[in-house]
Amino acid sequence: MKNSFVYKYLSLRNSESLGRFLTTMAALIAIVSTITIVVFISLKGLSTFTTNGVSLKEFLFSTNWLPDRPLAEGGPQVGVLAFIIGSLVVSMLAVLVSAPLSIACAVFIVEIAPYWGQRFLQPAIELLAGIPSVVYGYIGLSVLVPFIRDNIGGLGFSVLAGFLVLSVMILPTIVSMLIDSLKSLPRDYKEASLALGSTRWQAIRLVLIPAARSGLVTGIVLGLARAFGEALAVQMVIGNTRVMPTSILDPVITLTSAITMDMGNTPMGSLWNNALWSMGLLLLIMSFIFILIVRYGVRRGGISR
Amino acid sequence: MNARLADKIATLTFWVGALIVILILGSMIAYLLYHGGKYISWDFLTKPAQAIRAGGGIGPQIFNSFYLLFLSMLITVPIGVLGGIYLAEYAGNNKLTEAIRLCIETLNSLPSIVVGLFGLLVFVNMTGWGYSLISGALALTVINLPLMVRFTEEAIRGVPASLREASLNLGANHWQTILRVVLPSAFPGLVSGAIITSGRVFGEAAALLFTAGMSSPALDFSQWNIFHPASPLNPFRPAETLAVHIWKVNTEGLIPDLRRVADGSAAVLILVVLGFNMAARWLGSKIHRRMTGT
């Protein structure tokens, strides 16, 4: 029986349907796993609101993070505004630092020094994009934090350290995406512009960068998404105090670092633990927003390849 | 301002920008290799870690990283290659294809900590495996699948149409053409894709904290029964990888020679990851040259 089954499916005529079946299944796994992730994280993340009865407004807009306050003193409260602000501030500052640098570096590699730029610098940058994020965190912890503490002030564990580490971490990723989008422009654009008498800077500023705009923005948004979702590198250098920062040298906490630190130490099903799952859900929603921006917001306009 | 002067200033700015980027990244690598390189010794690479005393090594962590890499690639590569074949060869221009692409894009940009949470919920708790290598391997598969699919699709799309047409003309069906003609010529791309993906597995930590766990049992390398709890090959034991070890030593470490272990581990990690990426480039072009005879 078994032999005939194998024979049937591996014979010339049927191997075609077998192949189609196997590959379709593999592709469907992508859909299935995405849906499973969304469903499970949502179910678990919503239990703060359904089981514990925390109101969405309080969760999102309150800065009172007191998940273990006894009932006598007013009961526990889980407001994660400080975490959200922490995440947003750190990742946006990181992008503000690394976007201009990345654009300069990518333009340099593609336009200013194309020979050794593309022969040596681009492979080097791509190689660096593979460096694990814990390594960036570790460098931040062992070099940047003591440097800030000794020379600028504060504890060293700060917003400043956090966004500097992130900005270096996302540099190679953004640069290599920008290089790709600049390289995909037709050669004629630059040549036409130069033939009309513009200088190289005018060609870059008025023709190349506007033409590659959608690619540039995509690269930067993906960099922001990566910075927003990064957990360990940030957690190692920002100090993790659960209050709103008032200066750039204050310690701060992000959604990701709160999950990293407390998920293992809080009992499953407790309010504290459920609030962490809700933060996970928030991260998931944010990454959907980033994807939607890239897919539908950015791809309009610019040139189509 | 005069256009020529503006051009000069802009060129200078681009030089400075590029130099800053290269300086930052270059000095980082140099710092790591210089500080960590001097601690790398045979003892450090093979001895087990110490919890409170000095003199620990990172032997089990290195083993765990490679074993986890192997387990996760065992799942990622077949599914990823098949999925890539589907997208390159079979997918029609329809809603299903668009949904698959959207999902792959989504999976690719999920924060790894979210994948870790999903792994904790499904692979650790629901299956009852607890913190284990297999849970970690499955979580890593979720992270790396999109990358493997994309590399495969790109590699297959790079195969010249004439090869495919010749095979179909000789009477082979579509699947036979894929297996015997398209995949072999896409092989260099597949190999470098798989190696680059491996490099990512090796450095991943956030998704592993709550899936593969942050501790390793005492390993007995003479125990070959893979279901024995002390067997290094048991896929159901918890395992701390090198990347997780760097994080843990720095945040919770109690050992006196913390800097030595952390510096050394970071240098080893970086060497392995850079090694993977360089191997991917080198091997990819070498296989390509051998197979095309150029």
The 10s digit of each residue's pLDDT in A7-24 is 555 555 667 788 888 888
Q: Does A15 touch chain B (CB under 8 A)?
A: yes
**How many residues appear in chain A?**
305
Rounded mean pLDDT of A176-194? 86
B-chain CB neighbours of A290 within 8 Å are: 109
Domain housing A168 = 78-296
Asked if residue A302 is part of any domain, the answer here is: no
Question: Residues in chain B with pLDDT < 50?
Answer: none
Q: Which two tokens stand for residue B215?
A: 């501790």
pLDDT the model gives residue A5: 52
Do B94 and B81 touch, CB atoms closer than 8 A? no
Do B205 and B166 touch, CB atoms closer than 8 A? no
Asked if residue A282 is part of any domain, the answer here is: yes
Rounded mean pLDDT of A98-112? 88
pLDDT the model gives residue B54: 67
Do B152 and B186 touch, CB atoms closer than 8 A? yes
Asked if residue A62 is part of any domain, the answer here is: no
pLDDT the model gives residue A12: 55
- What is the value of pTM for the model shown? 0.85
Q: Radius of gyration (Cα) for chain A, nearest Å?
A: 25
What are the backbone angles phi and psi of residue A66, rounded to the nearest 5°? -130, 65
Q: Which two tokens stand for residue B210?
A: 């709550």
Is 50 exceeded by the pLDDT of residue A304? Answer: no
pLDDT the model gives residue A11: 55
Asked if residue A242 is part of any domain, the answer here is: yes
Is 60 exceeded by the pLDDT of residue A302? Answer: no
Among chain A residues, CA nearest to B173? A16
- Contact check, Cβ <8 Å, A27/B145: no
Whether residues A133 and A26 share a domain: the answer is no
Looking at B38-58, list the stretches that DSSP marks H as alpha helix, in order from N- to C-terminal side.
42-46
Whether residues B16 and B108 share a domain: the answer is no
Do A103 and B171 touch, CB atoms closer than 8 A? no
Q: Across the strands, what pairs with A66? A: A77
Q: Across the strands, what pairs with B244? A: none
Whether residues B234 and B284 share a domain: the answer is yes
Asked if residue A67 is part of any domain, the answer here is: no
- Contact check, Cβ <8 Å, A41/B79: no
Element (H, E) at B225: none
Indicate left, alpha or beta for A266 from its phi (over 0: left) and psi (-120 to 50: alpha). beta
Integer Cα distance of B233 and A82 in angstroms: 44
The gap from C-alpha A151 to its chain's centroid, in whole angstroms, comes to: 30
Integer Cα distance of B252 and B215 in angstroms: 12
The sign of the dihedral angle between the CA atoms of B11, B17, B21, B23 is positive
Whether residues A103 and A13 share a domain: the answer is no
For residue A257, CA distances in Å to A141, A164, A287 come to 15, 16, 16
Asked if residue A260 is part of any domain, the answer here is: yes
pLDDT the model gives residue A305: 41
Task: Say which CATH number the domain at B92 has.
Answer: 1.10.3720.10
Asked if residue A61 is part of any domain, the answer here is: no
pLDDT the model gives residue B223: 67
Do A38 and A284 touch, CB atoms closer than 8 A? yes
The 10s digit of each residue's pLDDT in A125-169 is 887 788 888 888 888 888 888 888 888 877 878 888 889 999 998
Angle between helices B258-292 and B242-252 (to 10 degrees): 160
Domain count, chain A: 2
Domain count, chain B: 2
- Contact check, Cβ <8 Å, B22/A107: no
The 10s digit of each residue's pLDDT in A251-298 is 888 888 888 888 878 888 788 888 888 889 999 999 889 888 888 766
Q: Does A18 touch chain B (CB under 8 A)?
A: yes
Interface test mutation site (partner A, options B114, B181, B276, B277, max chain A beta carbons within 10 A): B114
CB-facing half-sphere around the CA of B153: CA atoms within 13 A: 20
The 10s digit of each residue's pLDDT in B13-66 is 888 888 888 888 888 888 888 887 777 777 777 777 776 666 677 778 888 888
Nearest to A15 among B176, B243, B251 (CB): B176
Asked if residue A41 is part of any domain, the answer here is: yes
Q: Across the strands, what pairs with A78? A: A65
pLDDT the model gives residue A95: 93
Three-state SS for chain A is CHHHHHHHHHCHHHHHHHHHHHHHHHHHHHHHHHHHHHHHHHHHHHHHHHCCCCCHHHHHHCCCEECCCCHHHCCCEECCHHHHHHHHHHHHHHHHHHHHHHHHHHHHHHHHCHHHHHHHHHHHHHHHCCCCHHHHHHHHHHHHHHHHHHHCCCCCCCHHHHHHHHHHHHHHHHHHHHHHHHHCCCHHHHHHHHHCCCCHHHHHHHHHHHHCHHHHHHHHHHHHHHHHHCCHHHHHHCECCCCCCCCCCCCECCHHHHHHHHCCCCCCCCHHHHHHHHHHHHHHHHHHHHHHHHHHHHCCCCCCC
Whether residues B133 and B83 share a domain: the answer is yes
Amino acid at A92: M
CA distance B60 to chain A (A): 19
Residues 6+ apart with CB under 8 A from B222: none
Among chain A residues, CA nearest to B121? A40
Whether residues A136 and A285 share a domain: the answer is yes
Whether residues B33 and B95 share a domain: the answer is no
Whether residues B62 and B25 share a domain: the answer is no
The 10s digit of each residue's pLDDT in A199-254 is 888 888 888 888 888 888 888 888 999 899 888 888 888 887 777 778 788 888 88
Among chain B residues, CA nearest to A33? B142
Whether residues A40 and A82 share a domain: the answer is no
- Cα–Cα nearest to A135, from B115, B21, B265, B24: B265
Is 70 exceeded by the pLDDT of residue A4? Answer: no
A-chain CB neighbours of B92 within 8 Å are: none
Do A249 and A154 touch, CB atoms closer than 8 A? yes
Taking residue B173's Cβ as centre, other Cβ atoms within 10 Å add up to: 16
Interface test mutation site (partner A, options B9, B94, B121, B265, max chain A beta carbons within 10 A): B121
Do A161 and A145 touch, CB atoms closer than 8 A? yes
